[in-house]
Structure 1
Amino acid sequence: MPQPHGFAYEQRDGATAVVITHHGRPVTTLRGSRAERFLREVAAGDAQLVMARWTGNYKRGNERTARRHPRNRPS
């Protein structure tokens, strides 16, 4: 499975707000306790993977199954 890339984050208002972007476009804004929890997770693990998980932009494991669906087969 390819690793996520293109994510970045910026802290605003101290640590009370975090804006996550993907390829320069804002994806989500976290505030308060969610922002603090996110910052702890980023410090402890792979930042790209954490940001992908928090934004919901990551592979779910069903791509191979979807590729075999009749609707997605080449004609």
Structure 2
Amino acid sequence: MPRPQGFTYAVRGDGTVVITHGPRTAATLRGARAAEFVAEVDSGDAQLVMARWTGNYKRGNERAARRHPRNGG
């Protein structure tokens, strides 16, 4: 699986976490979810954690889609 790239996050003064992918906002986390995200991103690979929290990660169906007749397989 290729490593996700381009995610950044910022923690605002009120505790809100804004995750962006390139120029677009991918997710906004508040309260307990924001605190949980910050704890997790500090302990692991930040890009993978942000991809998982925003839903921008491979879902496991790429191999099956390759064999689909519409995709030439």
TM-score (norm 2): 0.93
Give the counterpart letter for 1:44 in structure 2: S
Quote the offset at 1:63 in angstroms.
0.5
Q: Per-residue CA shift, 1:21-58, capped at 9, x if unaligned? A: 00121011000000000000000000000000000000
User: Aligned-residue CA RMSD in angstroms?
Assistant: 1.2
Quote the offset at 1:13 in angstroms.
2.3
Structure 2 regions of 5+ residues with no counterpart?
none
Moved more, 46-55 or 21-30: 21-30
Quote the offset at 1:67 in angstroms.
1.3
3-state SS, counterpart of residue 3 of structure 2 = coil
Give the counterpart letter for 1:4 in structure 2: P
Aligned residue pair count = 73
Question: Identity rate of aligned residues, in percent?
Answer: 67
Instruction: Output the CA distance in 2 between the equivalents of 1:24 and 1:6.
Output: 9
Instruction: Output the CA distance in 1 between the equivalents of 2:24 and 2:63.
Output: 28
Q: Does 1:29 align with 2:31?
A: no
Give the counterpart letter for 2:65 in structure 1: A
Give the counterpart letter for 2:2 in structure 1: P
3-state SS, counterpart of residue 42 of structure 2 = helix
Give the counterpart letter for 2:52 in structure 1: R
Quote the offset at 1:62 in angstroms.
1.1
